[in-house]
Amino acid sequence: MNEQIITLESIEPVEIYGVNDVKLNIIKKFFPKLKLIARGYSLKVLGEGDEIGRFEKKLEMLTDYYHKNGLLTESVLERLLGQTGDNMLETKEEAQNNDIIMFGNNGLVIKAKTENQRKMVSSIVKNDMLFAIGPAGTGKTYTAVALAVKALKNKEVKRIILTRPAVEAGENLGFLPGDLKEKLDPYMQPLYDALNDMVPTDKLNQYIENRTIQIAPLAFMRGRTLDNAFVILDEAQNTTESQMKMFLTRMGANAKFIVTGDATQVDLPAKQPSGLLQALKLLKKVEGIDIIELNNSDVIRHKLVRSIIERYEAKN
């Protein structure tokens, strides 16, 4: 009898095992000659070599199907496992779930909810740099983080780098109490909030500890070359022109950059031009760079947020 340990690296275990191992029990039904022992991200398979090989191919097929469709229901699982070939058919029900970016913690469905969010999802496939500009509550940062986590899970990149200008402290954090992490956390909290929805706590802590996910203020990007990385610059309206140029020129091989910001919420000192506004003018129509402007119709927070934005815009 052979033994094989399979590590689920590009898919959350719950998507394969199901709640209370419902899906795992379906899989076992199709592989009665194998003994399957699930322990978190590790799946121990015991049995004859040929049968283990057949199981690995089917597991790879299930994983590929999940990444293509964003969904792996029990009925679909049974249909795929029952196929004699590896062709995967797409049902009408599955096609309707193409807005799904990924599944987060506890089965949380993370999807593009508006037309401009869908444009972000399709644009980052075609372009290496994307500017997503719009008012508060349009989900631009959340969508960007979801795309980064998906790319990491799919092994399209080796690391995620999230950064913001700590403009409220003038990027001079020395006077704040605590160690570096304690000083930075208040400015980085929106990024942590998004990650906490998408990555299990223990896995997220591991990623941060081994620097697979890095969260740092913009000033820490200077001098770096960012290869094999999905990089997000949030609150980009608060970058100076020199900071924006510095950030954009960090781009290395096999990198994806998303820059998010709200051009109406610049917190820089008076008469200090925003690097975001300059970049939007200079980089318009550059091949490989896309600019998506989100608006009030993309607001997905409380319904009052849209009304508040509209009233403030009408005031100006």
Domain of 43: which CATH number? Answer: 3.30.1370.10
Residues 116 and 194 in one domain: yes
- By the 8 A CB rule, do 218 and 162 touch? no
Residues 90 and 107 in one domain: no
**Confidence label for 11 from pLDDT (cuts 50, 70 and 90):** confident
pLDDT in tens, 133-189: 999 889 999 999 999 999 998 899 999 999 988 754 444 555 445 555 565 667 678
User: What DSSP letter does each residue of 197-262 carry, written as one string?
Assistant: HHS-HHHHHHHHHTTSEEEEEGGGGTT--B-SEEEEE-SGGGS-HHHHHHHHTTB-TT-EEEEEE-
> Nearest to residue 238, comparing CAs of 214, 259, 216, 258?
259
Of 69, 95, 121, which one is at a domain's C-terminal end?
A: 95
At residue 284, the pLDDT reads 92
Of 46, 62, 95, which one is at a domain's C-terminal end?
A: 95
Which letter does DSSP use for residue 37 in this model? E
User: Higher pLDDT residue, 271 or 49?
Assistant: 49
At residue 121, the pLDDT reads 94
As given in the structure block, the two tokens for residue 172 are 């001079």
Count CA atoms closer than 13 A to 153's CA, side-chain side. 27
Q: For the chain, what is the domain count?
A: 2
- In a 10 Å sphere around its CB, with 0-12 CB exposed, 13-18 middle and 19+ buried, how is residue 145 labelled? buried
At residue 80, the pLDDT reads 81
Whether the predicted pLDDT of 124 surpasses 50: yes
At residue 37, the pLDDT reads 93
Residues 302 and 188 in one domain: yes
What CATH number did the domain enclosing 288 receive? Answer: 3.40.50.300
At residue 157, the pLDDT reads 96
Residues 115 and 246 in one domain: yes
Whether the predicted pLDDT of 253 surpasses 80: yes
**Confidence label for 95 from pLDDT (cuts 50, 70 and 90):** very low
User: Higher pLDDT residue, 150 or 316?
Assistant: 150
Residues 182 and 132 in one domain: yes
**Confidence label for 297 from pLDDT (cuts 50, 70 and 90):** confident
**Spatial distance between the Cα atoms of 71 and 18, rounded to a whole number of angstroms:** 12
**Spatial distance between the Cα atoms of 17 and 43, rounded to a whole number of angstroms:** 10
Residues 106 and 48 in one domain: no
At residue 279, the pLDDT reads 96
Whether the predicted pLDDT of 94 surpasses 50: no
At residue 178, the pLDDT reads 55
At residue 90, the pLDDT reads 42
pLDDT in tens, 64-74: 877 766 678 88
Residues 216 and 294 in one domain: yes
Exposure letters 243-276 (e unless 16+ CB within 10 A, then b): bbebbbebbeeebbbbbbbbeeebeeeeeeebbb
At residue 216, the pLDDT reads 85
**Taking residues 70-88, what's their average pLDDT?**
70
Paired strand residues for 37 = 44
User: Higher pLDDT residue, 86 or 175?
Assistant: 175
Residues 30 and 74 in one domain: yes
Whether the predicted pLDDT of 254 surpasses 80: yes
The chain-wide mean pLDDT, for the chain, equals 85
Of 73, 95, 117, which one is at a domain's C-terminal end?
A: 95
Residues 219 and 280 in one domain: yes
Residues 54 and 199 in one domain: no
Residues 201 and 127 in one domain: yes
At residue 213, the pLDDT reads 95
Residues 79 and 192 in one domain: no
**Spatial distance between the Cα atoms of 45 and 56, rounded to a whole number of angstroms:** 9
Domain membership of residue 206 as a residue range? 100-315
